[in-house]
Amino acid sequence: MGLAHRAYWAVKKVNLKYDNTSKERKLNLNELEEIRNEAFETSAAYKAKMKEVHDAMIRKKTFEVGQRAWLYSSRATFFPGKFKSKWMGPCVILRVGNYGEVEI
């Protein structure tokens, strides 16, 4: 009888530890999720601020029909010469659209 009582007491004690451990684990997981969300929000705020700073540095360019402009060849990845320019032109602007697109 004494041995059975001790075994029951040991099982009961271990089960209590499992309950406490599971509660602590859940709290730790919730805390980790909160830290992750806070890091995401901080990262999003940083990216928004950097975009704002970058956009403030961009100068608005307006083009007019008949104006000459240089065209950057962005599709050409391999250039035959070391000193060959990536710019073509000057090209004459034929049409300017409402949203800033131009026809050369």
Same domain, 46 and 4: yes
Round to whole Å and give the CA distance between 93 and 97.
11
What contacts 24+ positions apart, CB below 8 Å, involve 38-46?
none
Distance from C-alpha of 2 to C-alpha of 75, rounded to nearest angstrom: 86
33 falls within a domain: yes
Domain of residue 75, residue span: 68-103
Paired tokens of 32: 């980790």
Do 72 and 52 reside in the same domain of the chain?
no
Could you give phi then psi for residue 89, rounded to 5 degrees?
140, -170
Q: Are 87 and 73 in contact (CB under 8 A)?
A: yes
Instruction: Kindly report, residue by residue over 24-57, the tens digit of the pLDDT.
Output: 888 889 999 999 999 999 999 999 999 999 999 9
- Looking at the structure, tell me whether residues 8 and 49 fall in a common domain: yes
- Residue 16: the pLDDT is 63
Tokens for 91? Answer: 């090209």
Q: Is 63 domain-assigned?
A: no
pTM for this model (two decimals) = 0.43
- Domain count for the chain, please give it: 2
Q: What is the pLDDT of residues 57-77, one digit of tens each?
A: 988 888 888 999 888 877 656
Task: Note whether 9 and 50 are same-domain residues.
Answer: yes
